[in-house]
Every structure is written in C-alpha cells, then in structure tokens.
Structure 1
Amino acid sequence: MAQHLRLFGMAVHPELIEAWEIGILRPTEIQLFTQADVLWCRTAELMGIEEPHSLAELRLSRQLTAEELAARIDMETTLYEQTERRNRWRGTCQQTLALLNVMNLSLPQLLAVTGQTDIQLTIRS
C-alpha cells in the first residue's frame, strides 16, 4: 500500500498504514481519498459504512474536502464546518439546491442523513 500511495504522490511509511489498520491513527481526508483511488473502491467502504449517517460521512463518501464542498455550494468554509459538526442543515435555498446537486441527493435523503424532519430555508435579499 505504501508503494502504491507513493505512485499517487503520497509518501507514507508502512508503519503509518499499520496504525490506520489497527485504529491507532486515522488517515487525513486526502489520505483516505487516495487510498480509495489506489484500491479502486468507494471511500465509504474504507470507512466501513453502508450508507452515510451524517453530513461529514456523506461528504467524505463523495471524496470532497469541507473546503471544496463549501466552495461548490457558495458557503463559507467555517460555516459549512459548523453545520457539519452540528449535523444540522441551515443553508439558503440556493445553497440547499447546490448541495443536493453536488451530492446527488434528494431532499428526503438530506433529511434522513441529518436526522431532521424539515429544513428551514432562508432566502437572501
């Protein structure tokens, strides 16, 4: 694995990979994404999840960093990260539509991932 990751431009030591495997350390998002690419599998498989149960898991399963997703939905990164920590969606109508599009979700799927029963959308003037 370490050799394959190096081919993808990520120099890691075999000891680090072992620490990931036994749960002592967790890979960074970029390391996780690169592992999935090397292994030709979905990020969710490496995370050991069938279906995402949070905004963070959903984003990681789509191989997006918080910064990338925030930019794609026109939201400040810190605001998106706060939303993810709370697992409560509070975006504007435009941001919600962008999120649904980028993540390839329906509104009911977004509600299920966040555990919300409804989403209050705000409209910017």
Structure 2
Amino acid sequence: MISRINWKTGLQIRCDKFICHLSIFGVNLHLNMHPITVYLLTINGLAFLFNGTDKWLAVRQKSRISEKMLLGLALTGGSIGGLTGMLLFRHKISKMAFLWKFFGILIGQLLLLYLFLK
C-alpha cells in the first residue's frame, strides 16, 4: 500500500507496507510503524499544534484558526491531540458550544473503537 499526503506545510508521508517515510521540511525519517499509527501520530500532533497556535493568536488578537478546522482535525482522528492542546494551553475550555461538539466527536470515536475491538 502506498499513500501520499501533501500539505502546503511541507509535510509528506509515503508508506510501503509497514515502513513509512516521513519528510518534514526536507528532514527525512524512516519509521518502522503501521501506516495507521503514523497517520494518528501526525493528525494528533497537528491538532495539538493548531490548538496552541490558535491560543497564541487569540492572546495577540490576530486572525484565528476556525473552529471548523479544529473540529475537523478532531473528527479525522486528532481528538487526543486536540484534547491535550485544549487542556495544556487552556484553550476553548469555557466555550460550551465548542465543547459539546468536540466531546460528541470524542464519544463517537470511543464508541467506534469499542465496537471495532469487541
């Protein structure tokens, strides 16, 4: 299986069976992990960084990262990174509408995981 994800951030992932090649801004890493593990680590890292960046932008009253983007990262597998970023940076923890959506996604993912592992 070969999959390739290109973002404008300079991130590139290429997987052949169980070896993934990760390139971030020209730095190459060869990971002996399952592609799903590499994907989850990557998407959770991005969710964590986006939460931290949005908090930094909020403090400086700059243009922000949309809630759709933060929830989209959680929905595509980055809920653990998003939750960690929310708690560590104390970001979006008082916005009830956002929290309802976020924890709905998290509970849905936990239910799917339970059903998958059952």
By the TM > 0.5 criterion, same fold? no
TM-score scaled by length of structure 1: 0.28
Q: TM-score, normalised by structure 2?
A: 0.29
Structure whose residues are more often strand by fraction? 2
